[in-house]
């Protein structure tokens, strides 16, 4: 009995540091964001006015907010799906097929993940340059050089997809490595017996690989949401600044703009609250719809 009490005390003292840190640096700031969203405040004075839910009602009437919402959702959907497909494809190619220079490709694919976002943005700004960019120069091989250049970062209809391109390029390597790690755990015998029974490579992929790394896929889906929301801010800030004319404004860049540039800190926090709830809800929904019986091997 006494032994158990001591054990409990020991666990308590071991956990206490982490719990205290967690509360100070995570729980309290989060609560603070919620609290600040109810105030009108410029950010640098002691003068805060409590305005209740006014920030939220203004937010839901703002066309600009809906535009940023659309942009963010579009990015989340497109970037997640494309990255997911490519990462899975490359992962299975690199772990299942016998390729020359496998390790080399593994490294190459992972490199974008090590690069800083600012560097990637600079690279893609150069690729997308309308006059002497790589992309337009390549396209000019197939069309007359005198035709109008495509404005990858200047045309409101295209620019968000240009952003997608850079984000996908950046993210593939990371998810590829994650999928490869779990694919490596699948026993070789399953594939051998499938082969003996005449299953095609594609069949093997969908019937063995996917179901057996399903838990991993589910985890990465949540990662996709969080990282796209965060990364899109960095890319937008470094590449387009939200332009042209707000066409690439996303959740966080809009929040930043309102909180700092437009002196509406409270309103910015209200945007933060909406983003917080939205990403939580989205992750929960995805988690629920992807729930499958756990397969053991």
Partner 1 sequence: MKKLLSLALAATLTLSLAACGGNNSGSGSDSANAPAANNTEAASGSTRTLKVAALETAYGADVWQEIATAYEKVKPEVKIELTIDKNLEDVIGPGMKSGDFPDVIHLGVGQPKGLTETFVKDNNLTDLTEVLYMTVPGESATVREKLIPGFTDTTITNPYGEGNTYLMPMFYSPCGLFFNAGLFEEKGWTVPQTWDEMWALGDKAKAEGIALFSYPTTGYFDAFFYALLNEAGGPEFFTRAMNYTEGIWKTEEAAKAFDVVDKLANYTEKTVPANGNKDNFVKNQQLILDNKALFMPNGTWVVGEMSKAPRADGFKWGFTALPALTDGGDRYSYTFFEQIWVPAKAKNADLAKEFIAYLYSDEAASIFAKVGAVQPIKGMSDKLEGDNKLFYSVYDSGAKAAMGAFATTDPVEGVSISDTVFGTVDSLVTKSKTKDQWIEAITKASDSLRGALKK
Nearer to partner 1 (CB atom), residue 159 or residue 212: 159
- HSE-up of residue 187 (Cα within 13 Å, Cβ side): 6
Q: Does 231 bind partner 1 (CB under 8 A)?
A: no
> Residues 14, 85, 145, 281: which binds partner 1 (CB under 8 A)?
14
Nearer to partner 1 (CB atom), residue 173 or residue 268: 268
Number of residues that bind partner 1 (CB under 8 A): 55
Q: How far is the CB of 133 from partner 1 (least distance, A)?
A: 9
> Residues 8, 9, 26, 99: which binds partner 1 (CB under 8 A)?
9
Q: Which residues pair with 39 in a beta bridge?
A: 50
Which residue has tokens 């305005």? 51
Positions in 132-191 near partner 1 (CB under 8 A): 148-149, 151-157
Q: How far is the CB of 62 from partner 1 (least distance, A)?
A: 4
Q: How far is the CB of 95 from partner 1 (least distance, A)?
A: 38
Reported as type and span, the H/E element at residue 111 is helix 102-114
> Residues 47, 98, 202, 294: which binds partner 1 (CB under 8 A)?
47
Characterise 99 by phi-psi region: left (phi > 0), alpha (psi -120 to 50), beta (else).
beta
Q: Does 20 bind partner 1 (CB under 8 A)?
A: yes
Nearer to partner 1 (CB atom), residue 168 or residue 270: 270
The tokens for 224 are 């996709």
The three-state secondary structure class of 49 is: strand
- State the DSSP string of 127-168: HH-TTT-HHHHHHTTTS-TTSPPP-TTT-TTTHHHHHHHHHH
Q: How far apart (Å, rounded) are the C-alpha atoms in residues 13 and 34?
A: 31
> Residues 1, 4, 44, 100: which binds partner 1 (CB under 8 A)?
44
Q: Does 40 bind partner 1 (CB under 8 A)?
A: yes
> Residues 67, 86, 113, 125: which binds partner 1 (CB under 8 A)?
125
User: Is residue 110 a contact partner of residue 177, using CB atoms and an 8 Å limit?
Assistant: yes
Q: How far apart (Å, rounded) are the C-alpha atoms in residues 226 and 14?
A: 30
Provide the sign of the torsion angle of the four alpha carbons 81, 87, 90, 91, taken in this order.
negative
Q: Taking contact as CB under 8 A, which single stretch among the options 164-172, 177-185, 214-222, 261-269 is the one that binds partner 1? A: 261-269
- Residue-wise over 216-245: b if at least 16 C-beta within 10 A, else e? bbeebbbebbebbbebbbbbbbbbbebeee
Positions in 267-296 near partner 1 (CB under 8 A): 267
Nearer to partner 1 (CB atom), residue 51 or residue 172: 51
- Which residues lie near partner 1 (CB under 8 A)? 6, 9-10, 13-14, 16-17, 20-21, 24, 40, 42-45, 47, 55, 58-59, 62, 64-65, 121-122, 125, 128-131, 148-149, 151-157, 238-241, 243-246, 257-258, 260-264, 266-267
């Amino acid at each position: 009995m006494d032994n158990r009490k001591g054990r409990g005390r020991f666990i308590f003292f071991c956990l206490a540091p982490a719990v205290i840190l967690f509360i100070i640096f995570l729980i309290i700031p989060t609560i603070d964001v919620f609290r600040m969203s109810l105030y009108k405040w410029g950010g640098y004075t002691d003068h805060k006015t409590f305005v209740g839910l006014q920030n939220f009602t203004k937010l839901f009437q703002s066309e600009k907010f809906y535009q940023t919402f659309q942009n963010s959702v579009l990015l989340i959907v497109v970037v997640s799906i494309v990255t997911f497909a490519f990462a899975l494809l490359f992962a299975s190619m690199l772990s299942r097929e016998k390729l020359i220079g496998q390790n080399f490709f593994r490294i190459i694919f992972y490199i974008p993940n090590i690069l800083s976002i600012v560097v990637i943005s600079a690279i893609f700004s150069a690729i997308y340059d309308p006059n002497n960019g790589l992309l337009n120069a390549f396209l000019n091989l197939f069309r007359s050089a005198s035709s109008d250049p495509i404005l990858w970062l200047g045309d409101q209809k295209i620019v968000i997809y240009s952003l997608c391109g850079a984000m996908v390029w950046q993210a593939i390597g990371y998810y590829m490595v994650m999928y490869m790690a779990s694919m490596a755990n699948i026993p070789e015998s399953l594939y051998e017996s499938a082969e003996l029974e005449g299953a095609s490579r594609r069949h093997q992929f969908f019937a063995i690989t996917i179901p057996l790394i399903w838990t991993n896929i589910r985890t990465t889906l949540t990662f996709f949401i969080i990282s796209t929301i965060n990364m899109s801010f960095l890319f937008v800030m470094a590449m387009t600044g939200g332009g042209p004319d707000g066409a690439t404004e996303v959740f966080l860049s809009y929040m930043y703009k309102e909180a700092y540039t437009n002196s509406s800190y409270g309103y910015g926090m209200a945007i933060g609250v909406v983003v917080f709830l939205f990403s939580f809800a989205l992750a929960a929904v995805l988690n629920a719809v992807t729930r499958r019986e756990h397969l053991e091997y």
